[in-house]
Structure formats: structure tokens, C-alpha cells
Structure 1
Amino acid sequence: MNCGKIKIGVMGSAADTLPTEGRASLEAKGEALGQAIAARRAVLLTGATTGIPYLVGRAAKAAGAFHIGISPAANRDEHVKAYGLPLDACDVIIYTGFGLKGRNVVLVRSCDIAIFVGGSIGSLNEFTIAYDEGRIIGCLTGTGGVADCASQLLEAFPKRSTAQLLLADEPNFLLAACLKAYEERGG
């Protein structure tokens, strides 16, 4: 039974892991992804963090999407002061108090679709959770990190899962493919 809008999680490179080379292209893809999510009237979930998730969230919110941030902090003060995370790109922030790894579980389990743009160790953790949870996983290739290594990871570390991995180098195409796979599953 469908109980509302599709929830799309975007995970990826935080500000401290963004590459300097090709950064403008990466940021443009992130903003295009945010606009595409808004155009499809989906709800966006991120880790209420910096970098690519922030850019996607800001672009999606500006284009009319509802953006929920899942914070590792227990409250607003800790979110800003201890974690150094922004407040302005989210419509709502859920303060989990679970730290970064606990936040990742809440974030991924709250999503219907998980999309990765770049990504370092934290995103790798989110990727393995999404795979274990059998999510539709989209990787925006050509953005580095987890998004470009996902196929090799699954080949190197095989495990049975109902997850579906979809790869594309263009945000609109990737999102459309993920939404189609989600619909074919029965949403």
C-alpha cells in the first residue's frame, strides 16, 4: 500500500571529501539531481550535512521539494556546534542523537530509493546498509568515490540481496531509472 510520496535519499561526498579537480561539474550534477527530485514531487532525505547532499538539498528545496535532514546530533545546538552541520537547506531536521553511523541507518531505512553521488567512507557505510536493506540504489557515475566503485564492491564482496543497483552518468536519467525500478517492484 502506498502511503504517500516516494522518499529519495541522497548520500555522497561531504565538504571535506569533495575533490578539487572536477568540483564544478560535480556540484552541477548535484544541483541538477536536486531539481529533478523536486520536479518529480518526491520527498528528499539527506544526512543534513555539507557537500553534495547539501547542494542537492538546497537545489531541491529551492525548486519546491520537501527536504528532511536526518542529523547525527541529539539537538540543534549539537548539530551546529559539535558536528559543524548546516541548518538552512532542510525543511525539517530529525535529531537522532545516534552519531554518524546510527544516523546512517535511520537515513537509509527511511528511504525508498538511495542515490549516491561521489562519496567516501561514510557513504560506503550508507551503501552497505542500503544493499543489506534491499533498496533501489542509484549511483551517479563519473562523480568518484562510492558511486564509481559500487559495481566492483559488489563483485568483490558478493552477498545475496534484493537490492537493485542502477548506474548512470546523468542525474535525470538515473532518477528516472530508479523510479521505474521502484514502480516495477510495486512501490
Structure 2
Amino acid sequence: MKKIGVFGSAVDSQDSLNQKSRKLGEQIARTGNSIVTGACTGLPLYAVLGAKSLGGYSIGFSATYNQEKHMEVMGTSPELYDSIILIPEHYKYKDNVEVCRKYRNVESVAACDAAIFISGRWGTLNELSNAYDMNKIIGILGDTGGVTDHVQLLLNSFKKATKSQVFFEKDPLNLINMISQKLQ
């Protein structure tokens, strides 16, 4: 079973994006892959709900160091995830949630075999740059706004050599199918 991350806005979502995100999660489960997210609200949560609705396996990377704090800070129940990865309790910045979100971003992207991006803002851009630098297979769900509308411009502007493969697709099912084929 491969791990496919779904990264996108935890705060800016609208019904059409929520539904696309849910379809991403459902298709991840249908293809026999597990879903990885930052264990947050918004679009990643809808993807987890989609995967779980079809019996998919979910892995959440929290920006907190215990499950009680997770619910308070992240706004999702740890029970949504088959596996929840917490910040180490001995981590020097464990009480600085902004630092812990970036720690979580690196860890969650590193754990993925592929990463899908839908909409998003600064945190999503951080996850995208991590995925690109880590040579991940990357899927961009087009026409979803936010960061994903600017990925081609960023790739053309920075021209950094990497082994990442970046795929653009507007249909959530087709995007997951493309990524699944690359993972085989």
C-alpha cells in the first residue's frame, strides 16, 4: 500500500472544493492506497472523510505533542486517523504551534510516496516546496484556486533541477489514477 498525501487549505474551503477533496480521498481508498494529511480541518479533512467512507487507511500528522492538545489546536478528532503522528514531546519548540506546523509539514510530506495539492495558501506552498525538493511525485488538482493556480509559473520561474514529476489534472479521479499508475 502506497501513501498519498493530500495537502490544501485548512481554512478556505467552499462546497465545490470540499466535494473535489472528498473525491480525492475516495479514489485514494478505491486504488488501495492510504491517505496522509496534516490532520487538520478544511480540504485535507474532506479528503480523509472520503477515504474513510470507503474503508481507507488514514495517517494524520499533528502539529501538537499530545492527543488532547490535538483536538484543541487542530480541530479534528484523533479518532479520524488509523495512525496519528505527534510532535515529539522533547521537541524544543513544542509549544510554538507555528513552528510545529512547519515541522509537521516536513514530516508528513517525507512520509508520502506522492503528494496531491488542492487550492491552498502559504502552508500548502511550504508543503509543495518540500515535496518538490524531496523528489516526490506531485499531483496538482487544477482550477481550485490558491497556490495550485500558480504552480506552473513557479516551476517556470525557478527552474530547479529535481527528480520530482509534476502532473496537472482538473478531475480528482483522473489525477489519483495517474498518480497510482506512477506509484506501481
Q: TM-score, normalised by structure 1?
A: 0.88
Structure 2: gaps (5+ residues)? 89-93, 95-99
Task: Say what the alpha-carbon RMSD is for the aligned residues.
Answer: 1.2
The residue that corresponds to 2:76 in the other structure is 86
Opposite residue 68 of structure 1, the aligned amino acid is I
In structure 2, which of residues 23, 42, 47 is the aligned counterpart of residue 56 of structure 1?
47
| Aligned partners of 1:140 and 1:148 also within 8 Å | no
Query: Across the two proteins, how many residue pairs are aligned to each other?
Result: 173
> Could you tell me how far apart the structure 1 residues matched to 2:71 and 2:80 are?
13
Q: Does 1:122 align with 2:123?
A: yes
SS in 1 for 2:80: coil
Opposite residue 123 of structure 2, the aligned amino acid is G
In structure 1, which of residues 4, 11, 15 is the aligned counterpart of residue 7 of structure 2?
11
Residue by residue over 1:79-118, the C-alpha shift from the partner in whole angstroms, topping out at 9 and shown as x without a partner, is 122x242014322211124600000010000000000011
> Could you tell me how far apart the structure 1 residues matched to 2:113 and 2:120 are?
19
Q: TM-score, normalised by structure 2?
A: 0.90
SS in 1 for 2:40: coil
The residue that corresponds to 2:97 in the other structure is none
Opposite residue 138 of structure 1, the aligned amino acid is G
Question: How far has the Cα of 1:177 moved from its partner?
Answer: 1.2
Give structure 1 regions of 4+ aligned residues with deviation exceeding 6 angstroms: none
> Could you tell me how far apart the structure 2 residues matched to 1:138 and 1:17 are?
20
Question: How far has the Cα of 1:124 moved from its partner?
Answer: 0.3
> Could you tell me how far apart the structure 2 residues matched to 1:150 and 1:71 are?
26
| Aligned partners of 1:38 and 1:60 also within 8 Å | yes
Residue by residue over 1:1-49, the C-alpha shift from the partner in whole angstroms, topping out at 9 and shown as x without a partner, is xxxx1100000011x233xxxx221111111111101101101110000
Structure 1: gaps (5+ residues)? none
